[in-house]
Amino acid sequence: MACGSELLSPSPIEQPLAPATACDEKSAKALQFIEEVTKNTDSVQERVLEEIMRQNADTEYLKRFDLNGATDRKSFKSKIPVVTYEDLQPDIQRIANGDRSTIFCAYPISEFLTSSGTSAGERKLMPFIHEELDRRQLLYSLLMPVMNQYVPDLDKGKALHFLFVKAETKTPGGLVARPVLTSYYKSDHFKNRPFDPYNLYTSPNEAILCPDSFQSMYTQMLCGLIMRHQVLRVGAVFASGLLRAIRFLQLNWQQLSHDISTGTLSPKITDPSIRECMAKLLKPDPELAEFINMECSSEDWERIITRIWPNTKYLDVIVTGAMAQYIPTLDYYSGGLPKACTMYGSSECYFGLNLRPISDPSDVSYTIMPNMGYFEFIPHDDSSPLTLSHVEVGKYYELVITTYCGLNRYRVGDILQVTRFHNTAPEFRFVRRKNVLLSIDSDKTDESELQRGIENASVLLKEFNTTVVEYTSYADTKSIPGHYVIYWELMIKNASRPPTNEVLNQCCLAMEESLNSVYRQGRVADNSIGPLEIRVVKNGTFEELMDYAISRGASINQYKVPRCVSFTPIMELLDSRVISVHFSPAAPHWTPERRR
């Protein structure tokens, strides 16, 4: 093999793509495919649109726009409106209620994918067709061939990748509704994947597919520890997930080490299929147990990842977008290993991949693959959407997609910036998700949800003749799991009877109860979000905040209290004025069932 022996520089952004290091035909074909579609971006897009329009020509949705069988771009653009989820919601509800007519798509809807984006507090439901799995699988199949150009010998070991399934439900009409990765891990595409030396996981399918998050994580961690010398990359989908795994190790290493020492599995693991598969894997290994005791009992967890998994070449985690807040912590635990953001996708559509996956997080760009769907881009000034090959370097756009599953000119809500072109395909930096104020894991809380939370919590203050005069918020990720912090300035009209501690704690819970179902699932089922905190600040603090902003050039007429803060001097100002701190005393309500 002509593989180099060194990991290439962590920032090969200026380097041309090296020739494939993995000399197998499959890899070469994958790279060739990327080159072909990105050299022919516009014609591939034209073909994709034509295919989608032809496939769905007789659907109820497209017929509403009098296309009369037209599949060309001009008719598409002039007749079909750009829409949001809320525009489609009534039709989506009909499908959820059991209407099997071809509303959006000529193919039968096989299930709903539940997005982490919410509408009216519940996850959005995205219609999905079985045929789409092949297209998504194709994108997955491109990831390792690209990575092999940068990191050699990834076929010489395994990936410790923490993968989880989440709860699924049925809609009133009987369709399954579940998150996109739960659907993928439960599909034959994943469960019966052919042997691929570049995609071997330490986690057995039995652990990945276990719906109990504790048992799943425990088993995946145990396997990772047992196979620690084989591990070449450590990852999870998002950075928050990997940090949750580290936190899990901090809390459970004694039991894990006991299991390794004795070759027995903790009685907390009751899933029969996990017990059966682990019986074959677990053998007493006191030496390994001793090593784990030594590393984990130390106060110092700096570089714990490379200490336990010394052959790790990089972290396989997304650290773009809201996940950028976790980069310093990941660097602390990994000694600054490269962080590979390999792909960009959503429940609605998989968009593309990072052709330089070992680049610095601030340089990460994703190349949208023109074969995945039809893509348009609304410029910053809200003018008419542009096609994939007409966007300009440096400019910002909102992504609009048309998919084989039946979404037409659908606003995803992501803001992207063009950084460069690969052949004729633009590469995009993920800038942000529109309207997201707070995010710890996959939760996305917007300003109106936060406002509603404040209003609902304030009701509890009425009997104390107290109101919330100002507030702001902060996503605190210093501890794991992270949590929402809300700063409150109160007006207490009856100073002799201020709100009690107990009531202010209950206000935290009332806020949590008002937040969307993805937030509450993170609190209840995934333990990925900690209890919400309210910090009451001294009267006059928000006026000081305004003075500070004005001293830095803000206009007094236009000044608005920021509803989310992260700038260090502002945090310091707020924290220095805190007079009391309160935490949610219990978890909010959450069940997989939708409230509507």
Residues that bind ligand AMP (CB under 6 A): 115-116, 180, 318, 320-321, 341, 344-347, 412, 414, 430, 433, 442
| Cβ 433 to ligand AMP shortest distance, Å | 4
* C-beta closer to ligand AMP: residue 167 or 282: 167
AA letter at 107: Y
Round to the nearest angstrom and report the end-to-end CA distance of the chain: 57
* C-beta closer to ligand AMP: residue 321 or 426: 321
426: helix, strand or coil: strand
- Residues 564, 568, 569, 570: what is their CA dihedral angle, to the nearest 10 degrees? 10
Q: Are 266 and 253 in contact (CB under 8 A)?
A: no
What are 492's strand-pairing partners?
Answer: 466
C-alpha 429/C-alpha 341 separation (Å) is 11
Element (H or E) spanning 379, and its range? Answer: strand 374-379
| Cβ 438 to ligand AMP shortest distance, Å | 14
Distance of CA 338 to the CA centre of its chain: 19
* C-beta closer to ligand AMP: residue 323 or 534: 323
CB-CB neighbours of 257 under 10 Å: 24
* C-beta closer to ligand AMP: residue 221 or 369: 369
| Cβ 204 to ligand AMP shortest distance, Å | 25
DSSP states of 284-330 as a string?
A: --HHHHHHHHHHHHSS--TTHHHHHSTT--EEEEE-SGGGGGGHHHH
| Cβ 344 to ligand AMP shortest distance, Å | 4
| Cβ 541 to ligand AMP shortest distance, Å | 33
* C-beta closer to ligand AMP: residue 171 or 506: 171
| Cβ 319 to ligand AMP shortest distance, Å | 8
Q: Are 402 and 67 in contact (CB under 8 A)?
A: no
CB-CB neighbours of 319 under 10 Å: 23
* C-beta closer to ligand AMP: residue 347 or 367: 347
* C-beta closer to ligand AMP: residue 147 or 260: 147
| Cβ 588 to ligand AMP shortest distance, Å | 20
* C-beta closer to ligand AMP: residue 344 or 590: 344
AA letter at 418: V
- DSSP type of residue 365: -
* C-beta closer to ligand AMP: residue 412 or 508: 412
| Cβ 518 to ligand AMP shortest distance, Å | 8
**Quick one: which of 340, 338, 372, 367 has its CA closest to 353?**
367
* C-beta closer to ligand AMP: residue 422 or 582: 422
| Cβ 41 to ligand AMP shortest distance, Å | 20
* C-beta closer to ligand AMP: residue 346 or 477: 346
| Cβ 86 to ligand AMP shortest distance, Å | 16
Per DSSP bridges, beta strands 231-238 and 158-162 are: parallel
CB-CB neighbours of 460 under 10 Å: 17
| Cβ 238 to ligand AMP shortest distance, Å | 8
* C-beta closer to ligand AMP: residue 115 or 389: 115
| Cβ 379 to ligand AMP shortest distance, Å | 19
| Cβ 124 to ligand AMP shortest distance, Å | 8
DSSP states of 46-103 as a string?
A: HHHHHHHHHHTTTSHHHHTTT-TT--SHHHHHHHSPPB-HHHHHHHHHHHHTT--S-S
419: helix, strand or coil: strand
Q: Are 440 and 483 in contact (CB under 8 A)?
A: yes
Structure tokens at 74: 């001009």
Structure tokens at 287: 């030496």
Structure tokens at 77: 């653009």
Supply φ then ψ for residue 233, to 5 degrees. -150, 145
* C-beta closer to ligand AMP: residue 275 or 434: 434
| Cβ 225 to ligand AMP shortest distance, Å | 28
Q: Which residues contact 161 (CB under 8 A, 6 or more apart)?
A: 201, 202, 203, 233, 234, 235, 236, 316
Q: Which residues contact 288 (CB under 8 A, 6 or more apart)?
A: 225, 226, 228, 260
| Cβ 75 to ligand AMP shortest distance, Å | 28
Structure tokens at 335: 């000694």
Supply φ then ψ for residue 46, to 5 degrees. -60, -45
Query: Residue 1 burial by CB count (10 A; 0-12/13-18/19+): exposed, middle or buried?
Result: exposed
* C-beta closer to ligand AMP: residue 414 or 512: 414
Distance of CA 494 to the CA centre of its chain: 45
Q: Which residues contact 448 (CB under 8 A, 6 or more apart)?
A: none
* C-beta closer to ligand AMP: residue 224 or 321: 321
